[in-house]
Chain A
Amino acid sequence: MKQKGPRLGEPASLWRMRIVPIASVMFASAVPLMLPLIANSPVLPPLGLLFFLCWQLLRSEMWPVWIGLPLGLWDDLFSGAPIGTAVGLWTLASIAIAYSSQRIYWRGFLHDWAIAALLIAIIQSLAALITHPQADTRLVLGLVVPQIIISALLVPLFMRLTGAFDNFRLKRR
């Protein structure tokens, strides 16, 4: 018996399940360069990185650990940091999340928040230091501190957003 169209309650298509997370990270990486904002300092939180970390904390099994390579390369094209910075740092973050999800047996919301905030702080600081290797270290770190604080406070919001995207991703027909 051949059936046309989706059946009621059938799982979402494989394409949608795969594309939604990747597309959300890629769009979030590129969106700062679509806004008519000429910034004098790093004012926006690293949106792509926030989504990247939240997806991995929410669905630790979804992506292989090397997913930071292509997504980081895409982010590097738009962030202004030297190409390769996010490729390296995001992948190390994936490995750190994979490790932490093996170590911490019952990971709660506060754990997720702390892990995300810590990783953002490390990644943004290192990225700034790689971008300006000759400059005064204190000056460079001072640039990203406000951004790190804002990003850390925004993590719960991005968790919610990621959750909403996840519901859409897995929504049955």
Chain B
Amino acid sequence: MVRPAHRRPGQSRKAQYSLFVAYVIAVTGAVAGLLLAILSVVDPVGFAQLRVASQEITAPIARVTRSVTGSLSGIDDSVGAYVGAGTQNRRLRKELAETRRQLVATSSLQEENRQLKALLKLQETDKTALANGYLLTSTSTSAKRIALLSIGRNLGVAAGQPVRGADGLIGRVLTSGPSVSQVLLLTDVDNIVPVRRARDGLPALASGRGNGDLDVRTLNIANNPFKPGDILVTSGTGGLYPPNIPVAIVVRRQHDGALARPLADPGKVDAVAVLRPYTPDNIEAQGRPAPAPLPAPASAP
């Protein structure tokens, strides 16, 4: 391609100025944009409404494509396995393929039936569920792992509520819009979940690696107590996540903890439940019997 001729605007003052102004706007805007980005990292709530509003636009299309094709999954699994290559990963992929073969063998109807049944049971045993919905779509071009949930403020979803599937924890609500809400997935780098080992209650912290796996670190012990196959559940420490939700299974020891895989794969899970955050108010409300009806006013003028 030849060098464009018009970049040097020649003798025309007007053309020179307009080119100069375009550059001034661009540089100022770029700097302002980066400052804005730093600001929205520090205070993520500020622009969240703007973003969730824009995703109300794509949500109807996502609903349609989802109902037509179901949920695509596994693409990123195979990519991720290549990245962290090794024998362990190869074995995991083989396991995944077997699981998928079994999944195909089972009809999709049976699968859906099972999940709905599990969720029904979950609703009965667990009074903390607020609403049920579907994961529609997710960000897939950036390093942030945010999924779009099919329900929003219309069903009482609000920021900070935990989200779980039948198999385990999915994440927490980041922002809720009028009819959709954003869920920060468990595997996001910024999502840290206090967990404990189901077997003996050993406390630990699980944080996302951003590629579908979790890093697990113990809080107090110097030597590494984890073994592959250990199941981790939420501990309820720090509020937010209610205790005893299954989170992940340890697949490999690392020098400072363990590598774990989430038990609920958001790509395969069909229905998810939004729970009440595990705060003192909510815990008391559950423990207490229903409030007695208010007595009639004693005196009326």
A81 at the interface (CB under 8 A from B): yes
* Contacts A87-B29, A87-B34 supplied; 18 other A-B pairs, CB < 8 Å: A32-B140, A33-B55, A33-B137, A34-B61, A36-B69, A36-B71, A36-B136, A38-B73, A43-B140, A60-B4, A65-B23, A80-B142, A84-B32, A89-B30, A101-B4, A102-B7, A132-B190, A135-B190
**Can you offer 23 A-B residue contacts whose CB atoms are under 8 A?**
A34-B58, A34-B65, A36-B70, A37-B138, A37-B267, A41-B145, A42-B140, A42-B143, A46-B141, A69-B26, A79-B141, A79-B142, A80-B142, A82-B40, A82-B47, A83-B37, A84-B37, A84-B39, A91-B27, A127-B143, A130-B41, A132-B210, A135-B210
* B137 close to A34 (CB less than 8 A): yes
List of B residues within 8 angstroms of A143 by Cβ? 143, 189, 210-211
Q: Residue A98 at the B interface, CB < 8 A? A: yes
The complex places the Cα of A142 from the Cα of B215 at a distance, in Å, of: 15
User: Given the complex, which residues of B lie within 8 Å of A73, measured CB to CB?
Assistant: 33
Contact A84 B40 (CB under 8 A): yes
Provided the pairs A65-B22, A77-B51 are in contact, do residues A91 and B29 lie with their beta carbons within 8 angstroms? yes
CB neighbours of A48 from chain B (8 A): 141
Known interface pairs A41-B79, A102-B3. Does A85 touch B267 (Cβ–Cβ under 8 Å)? no
Other-chain contact of A64, B2, B22, B72, B142 (Cβ < 8 Å): B22
Complex formed: what's the CA distance from A135 to B54 in Å?
28
B256 to A: closest C-beta gap in Å: 12
CB-CB nearest 8 A-B residue pairs = A87-B33, A84-B36, A40-B212, A80-B139, A88-B33, A84-B37, A88-B34, A80-B144
B230 in the interface (beta carbon within 8 A): no
> Which segment, of A7-15, A17-25, A104-112, faces chain B?
A104-112
Q: Pick the contact of A39 from B34, B39, B139, B190 — CB < 8 Å?
A: B139
Q: Which residues of A contact B50 (CB under 8 A)?
A: 77, 83
Tell me the complex Cα distance, A128–B145, Å.
Answer: 12
A69 partner residues in chain B, CB cutoff 8 A: 25-26, 29-30, 33
Cα A105 to Cα B35 with chains together (Å): 35
Residues of A contacting B71 with CB < 8 Å?
36-38
| Of B1, B148, B211, the contact of A41 (CB 8 Å cutoff) | B211
For the complex formed, measure the closest distance between the CB of A172 and the CB atoms of chain B, giving whole angstroms: 22
- A41 in contact with B3 (CB, 8 Å): no
Q: How far is the CB of A28 from chain B (nearest CB, A)?
A: 10
A65 — nearest CB in chain B belongs to which residue? B26
- With A65-B23, A79-B142 in contact, do A41 and B189 touch (Cβ < 8 Å)? no
Q: A84 vs B36: C-alpha distance in the bound complex, in angstroms?
A: 5
Q: Is A146 close to B, CB under 8 A? A: yes
**Residues in B lying within 8 Å of A, measured CB to CB:** 1-4, 6-7, 22-23, 25-27, 29-41, 44, 47, 50-51, 54-55, 57-58, 61-62, 65-66, 69-73, 75-77, 79-80, 82-83, 135-148, 185, 187, 189-190, 209-212, 265-267
Q: A34-B62, A77-B51, A130-B41 are in contact. Are A42 and B141 (CB under 8 A)?
A: yes
Nearest B-chain residue to A102, judged by Cβ: B7
A85 touches B72 (CB 8 A): no
C-alpha spacing A106/B1, complex, angstroms? 5
CB–CB A104/B211 < 8 A: no
Assess whether A82 is in contact with B44, with CB atoms less than 8 Å apart. Answer: yes
State whether A36 and B211 are in contact (beta carbons under 8 Å apart), knowing that A81-B142, A108-B1, A145-B83 are contacts in the complex: no
Q: Once bound together, how far apart are the Cα atoms of A80 and B189, in whole Å?
A: 13
Q: Is A121 an interface residue (CB 8 A)?
A: no
Bound CA span A86–B141, Å: 12
Measured CA separation A9–B172 after assembly (Å)? 58
Give the chain B neighbours of A44 by CB distance below 8 A.
Answer: 140-141
User: With A and B bound together, what is the CA distance between A139 and B190 in angstroms?
Assistant: 12
Contacts of A37 in B (CB 8 A): 71-73, 75, 137-138, 140, 267
Interface residues of A in 29-87 (CB under 8 A from B): 30, 32-48, 60-61, 64-66, 68-69, 72-73, 76-87
Does A94 touch B at the CB level, under 8 Å? yes
Contacts A33-B62, A35-B65 given; indicate if A81 touches B143 (C-beta within 8 A): yes
